[in-house]
Amino acid sequence: GENVEQHPSTLSVQEGDSAVIKCTYSDSASNYFPWYKQELGKRPQLIIDIRSNVGEKKDQRIAVTLNKTAKHFSLHITETQPEDSAVYFCAAYNQAGTALIFGKGTTLSVSS
């Protein structure tokens, strides 16, 4: 079945720096890759997603890149702010498209 690996598990940056989180997946049939942000005690919320027909997508300070050949995708946050501090999860669907398999999460801390 699908397996999603996420690195690093923790990431500390200074305000204004960039942050990069990387994920790899195992099922070559996967075609949808969302990123979720979860603040402490709150529900996960989608921040950006990418489908397999594009290699990059941007939304203001957030971007996601996808390399289908290498089966990895990355989240890039530029000009980080303290409110970016949260746990970020990447995910990929299993081959049947029924189960969204999540990475173990990255705890991002942005200090001012």
Partner 1 sequence: GAGVSQSPSNKVTEKGKDVELRCDPISGHTALYWYRQRLGQGLEFLIYFQGNSAPDKSGLPSDRFSAERTGESVSTLTIQRTQQEDSAVYLCASSSSRYNEQFFGPGTRLTVL
Please say which residue, 54 or 96, places its beta carbon nearer to partner 1: 96
Give CA torsion, residues 74, 36, 106, 94, to 10 deg.
-70
Please say which residue, 1 or 60, places its beta carbon nearer to partner 1: 1
Distance separating alpha carbons of residues 36 and 56, to the nearest angstrom = 17
- Residues in the site for partner 1, rule: CB under 8 A? 1, 31-32, 34, 42-46, 49, 51, 89, 91, 93, 96-105
Q: How far is the CB of 79 from partner 1 (least distance, A)?
A: 25
Residue closest to 10 by CA, chosen among 2, 1, 21: 21
Q: How far is the CB of 1 from partner 1 (least distance, A)?
A: 8
Please say which residue, 15 or 46, places its beta carbon nearer to partner 1: 46
Q: Can you name the residues that pair with 17 across neighbouring β-strands?
A: none
